Amino acid sequence: MSSFFDKLRLTKPKLEKTGTIKSGKPKVPGDLWVKCKGCDTPIYRKVLEEKLKVCDKCGFHHKMTSFERLALLTDPGSFEEMDSNIFPVDPLDFGEEFQVKLARDQKKTGLNDALLTGTATIEGHKVVAIIMEFFFRGGSMGSVVGEKVTRALEYAAEHKLPAIMVTCSGGARMQEGVFSLMQLVKTNAAVIRLGEAKAPYIVIMTDPTTAGVAASYAAIGDVILAEPGAIIGFSGRRVIEQTIRQKLPADFQTSEFYMKHGFIDRVIHRRILKRTLERILNFYSNTDEKEQTPEKEEA
Ligand SMILES: [Zn+2]
């Protein structure tokens, strides 16, 4: 999965732990410094975390864990987790190696699968938060992710709560084959039921939002926001170029490109993401009040 993303961003260097500072300087512990993925500058890890993992120099938005994202967007102490008792299986019998990887990612992320769901408040507005976890198998969507997304959206519909979806995923989980693909339609149906319940569905696309996730519940928000420079798309750049035999623009498959072409509503810096969500939630709660006044019957 990681090699897939490496191909997607051929022009950008990878974020790597810098075990040493080049040109013969003394060694520093690898976990103290990271190299910016956007401009290659070594940054003190603590400073990067204080800046919400955004590079001061070039503005590159590095990936956040789902719990960091939760802390960024919701009011402290307001989160109540849902469905933490659903665990992934190995339906196509990929064997021990795959199961070891799942167990390793569970330990690393503190999650049962690549998704964190629950209720929380954002500046006092109660919402259902659905946050994907890239550090669990590349945020891949398998049966557990699909089921948890569906349950969270159904809860939001039942209680008429806004659903906030943060996507960060390479797409469907290949090791679950058709079971992963079935999640596309299941989750989309849940989004439609949320709409019928007149509860808003707000999507925040982060880097990367690709393939089966981009093609399902990420793309059908009432409001779609994205972080700057996020890779968004269905197929990889090379595949498309080879298929249509044309060179694609340099900013192809970035959030800025998608906004320019009307696919997403706004590219928002991480620093003002929570404030923006609050404004959107204020807007929707005012709309709800208006809708409560009886409408004239059609003639
Ligand atoms: Zn940078």
pLDDT at 243 over 50: yes
Q: What separation in Å is there between the alpha carbon of 42 and the centre of ligand 1?
A: 8
Cα 96 to Cα 112, 145, 165, 175, 176, distances in angstroms: 17, 21, 32, 13, 15
Q: What separation in Å is there between the alpha carbon of 17 and the centre of ligand 1?
A: 14
Q: What is the CATH number of domain 63-289?
A: 3.90.226.10
CA angle at 198 for the pair 85 and 131, rounded to the nearest 5°: 35
**pLDDT classification of 250: cutoffs 50, 70, 90:** confident
Residue 222 DSSP code: S
**pLDDT classification of 287: cutoffs 50, 70, 90:** low
pLDDT for 110-125, tens place per residue?
999 999 999 999 999 9
Q: Among 17-26, 53-62, 97-106, 226-235, where is mean pLDDT lowest?
A: 17-26
**pLDDT classification of 291: cutoffs 50, 70, 90:** low
Q: What separation in Å is there between the alpha carbon of 205 and the centre of ligand 1?
A: 20
pLDDT value, residue 219: 95
Q: Which two tokens stand for residue 199?
A: 């509860």
pLDDT at 50 over 50: yes
Q: What separation in Å is there between the alpha carbon of 12 and the centre of ligand 1?
A: 11
Is the backbone peptide bond immediately before 208 cis, with ω within 30 degrees of 0? yes
Q: What separation in Å is there between the alpha carbon of 211 and the centre of ligand 1?
A: 27
Instruction: Give me the residue spans of the domains in the chain.
Output: 1-61, 63-289
Handedness of CA 251, 255, 256, 262 (dihedral sign): positive
pLDDT for 116-168, tens place per residue?
999 999 999 999 999 999 999 999 999 999 999 999 999 999 999 999 999 99
Q: What separation in Å is there between the alpha carbon of 227 and the centre of ligand 1?
A: 15
Q: What separation in Å is there between the alpha carbon of 54 and the centre of ligand 1?
A: 8
Task: Give the residue carrying structure tokens 């109540």.
Answer: 80
